[in-house]
Structure 1
Amino acid sequence: MIEVSGLTKRYGGTTAVKDLTFTVRPGQVTGFLGPNGAGKSTTLRLILGLHEPTGGTVTVDGRPFRDRPRGLRHVGSLLDAHDVHGGRTAAAHLFALARSNRIPRSRVGEVLREVGLAEVARRRIGGFSLGMKQRLGIAAALLGDPPVLLFDEPLNGLDPGGVKWVRDLFRRLADEGRTVFVSSHLMSEMEHTADQLIVIGRGELIAAESLAEFSARGTRQNVTVGTPAAVVLADLLTAEGAAVRAEGELLTVTGLTAARIGEIALEHRIPLRHLDTRSASLEEAFMELTADSAQYLAGGSR
């Protein structure tokens, strides 16, 4: 379990993390989301004791991570897949980590096989692709068989097969009762992977709740309508103030409820073949709820 309480980090006059309080529990995959510059990477480094907090506390299973000798037995992490010595082989890199953490050498072969790198164990890391480096970073995180795992953008550089493998790995680790904390900008993957979400913006907490609860906070709802009189119904709905997108006999309507659309169709004797309300996706809810926290905005946006 990771417990963050009142966590604050300032660099001179800049506050990167401000009074964060949240808990990451075992047995589930927790996604860590926020716009660019929100403070996600800083928070992960504070959890791992790589940065000293200005205020507040953060503990892993009840203790600051810095207080734990042989840390890989307690927490495995992947922060930057490029942060490895390119002149070493994959096996040598992991052997060094195993020795410094008093982990049996046999474990190196096990994790290399698990991540699909056994055949390139004696190749130098400098010749690895980004996807291979990501797999090596995951192998390092798994090396000590830790109860807590942190990953920062672990899907970068992976092909579709690799993405599915990582998704299945996270689910298995959570099902084994481990704490799995994953920072990612890929909303579609978090929608398929995460059980819980921690969402921050400008260093402050926006939400700490289930994925379903967060998605439901998005106010935008679309209604899909199927009708052979799509053109006529689209004009009527537009006149009522709705935004309508038409694709053949299918309309996507924003701004009116399904009940009101049904009433309008009935009044004008328009047959409906399909009428369904779709709540905001995770990406739509995220964009809406973090709009005021985005550090960088494209021209014409606010």
Structure 2
Amino acid sequence: MHGMIELDGLTRRYGRTTAVDGLTLTVRPGRVTGFLGPNGAGKSTTLRMVLGLTTPTSGTVTVAGVRFRDLARGLRHAGALLDAGDVHAGRSARAHLTALARGNGIGSRRADEVLGLVGLDDAANRRVGRFSLGMRQRLGIAAALLGDPPVLMFDEPFNGLDPEGVRWVRELFRRLAAEGRTVFVSSHLMGEVEHCADHLVVIGRGRLIADESLNDFAARAGRAEVVLRTPESAALTSALVDVGADVRPDADGALAVSGVDAERIGDLALGLRIPLHQLTTRTASLEEAFMALTAADVEYAARRTR
């Protein structure tokens, strides 16, 4: 069960607008890859091209080395949740999944299996039109899992889920990746991506900005800082400045220090017999890193009020 998503110079234009601009990257199995970008960055268009729903203007995209539209019984090769609302409201959850299974050569029993997996056993015979958004999301995830595929893609899978549902989705994605599957997750909820992704692909205005591990992405967005507390802040600040550190006030009387690491600060304070009540290293969050690296690629930026 191995499948990679490979993009090579993938481009999509709509008239004078370039939605996706020469994307080249590989989404690998065995890890959760977060797919991030500001609104209008081209994420949904990219996912649609992977699935053959939108035709590239130029470039190629393959799933396990083959164009998705050339794969017979596609749900056995790749499953996707792109729009949780794209379901016939008058059908029951079981009927919806059974129809998908039949069209892909999958036994009807599998529909009940995935309904159980996503926690919709008791709602299997209810009409989808009466489902909440969170229940529709679960049904969409069930449809993606229907063919037990090696490649899975999810667009905004956390929308409408309660905290228990969000935790369940995180754990599901990690488990699927641990089974050797390729898991590609697009979301604007940075905190949720931070909790489940191992790797990040970030685009802006259709172009690749980053393709690296979560830790590497956060690290290059800004310098790590050391937060410390001491009853002798003036003396320690002076000593830190003397060794080239940058020191600024932080919350609740603490100091934020950059330019030297925590070990050096601890040794310096010990030599001067200055007590330390806190000494911790703080790195940029995923949201802070994302905002810093995509600031120039935001299509609709709010004006600052004076």
With normalisation by structure 2, the TM-score equals 0.90
Encode CA deviations 1:81-121: one digit per residue, 9 max, x unaligned. Answer: 11111111111111111111111000010000000001010
Q: Residue 28 of structure 1: which of 20, 31, 43 is its match?
A: 31
* Partner in structure 1 of residue 82 of structure 2: 79
Structure 2 CA distance for partners of 1:58 and 1:209, relative to 1, 3 Å: same
Question: Is the 8 Å Cα contact of residues 78 and 152 (structure 1) preserved in structure 2?
Answer: yes
Name the counterpart of 2:248: 243
Distance 1:130 1:138 in 2: 12
Q: Amino acid of the residue matched to residue 154 of structure 1?
A: P
CA distance in 2, matches of 1:92, 1:262: 64
Could you say what secondary structure the match of 2:250 adopts?
A: strand
Q: What is the identity, as a one-letter code, of the residue corresponding to 2:303? A: G
- CA distance in 1 between counterparts of 2:248 and 2:273 reads 21
The question of 1:39 aligning with 2:27 is answered no
Tell me the equivalent position of 1:117.
120
Aligned to 1:191, which of 191, 194, 204? 194
Over 3 Å counting, the alpha-carbon distance change for 1:91 and 1:289 in structure 2 is same
The aligned amino acid for 1:176 is E
Q: How do 1:134-173 residues align onto structure 2 when only pairs under 5 Å count?
A: 134-173=137-176
SS of the equivalent of 2:290 reads helix
CA–CA distance in structure 1, aligned partners of residues 195 and 23 of structure 2:
26
Question: What is the aligned partner in structure 1 of residue 220 from structure 2?
Answer: 217
Distance between the aligned counterparts of 1:263 and 1:121, measured in 2? 63
Paired residue secondary structure (2:304): coil
CA RMSD, Structure 1 to Structure 2 (Å): 2.4
Q: What stretches of structure 2 of length at least 5 have no aligned partner?
A: none
CA contact (8 A) 2:5 2:62 kept: yes
Structure 1 runs of 4+ with >6 Å offset: 231-238, 259-269
1:240-295, Cα deviation, whole Å (9 max, x unpaired) = 974322315xx151655457866996898643222233221221111111111111
Structure 1: which 5+ runs fail to align? none
Q: Structure 1, residues 114-154: CA drift from partner, whole Å, max 9, x if none?
A: 00001010101111111000000000000111111000010
Structure 1 residue 221 displacement after superposition = 2.7
In structure 2, relative to structure 1, the CA distance for the partners of 1:229 and 1:23 (3 Å cut) is same
3-state SS of 1:214 partner: helix
Counterpart among 108, 113, 118 of residue 111 in structure 2:
108
TM-score (norm 1): 0.91
Counterparts of 2:239 and 2:187, CA distance in 1 = 42
Selected match of 2:276 from 249, 272, 280 = 272
Q: Which residue number corresponds to residue 282 of structure 1? A: 286
The alignment covers a number of residue pairs equal to 299
- How far does residue 16 in structure 1 lie from its aligned partner after superposition? 0.3
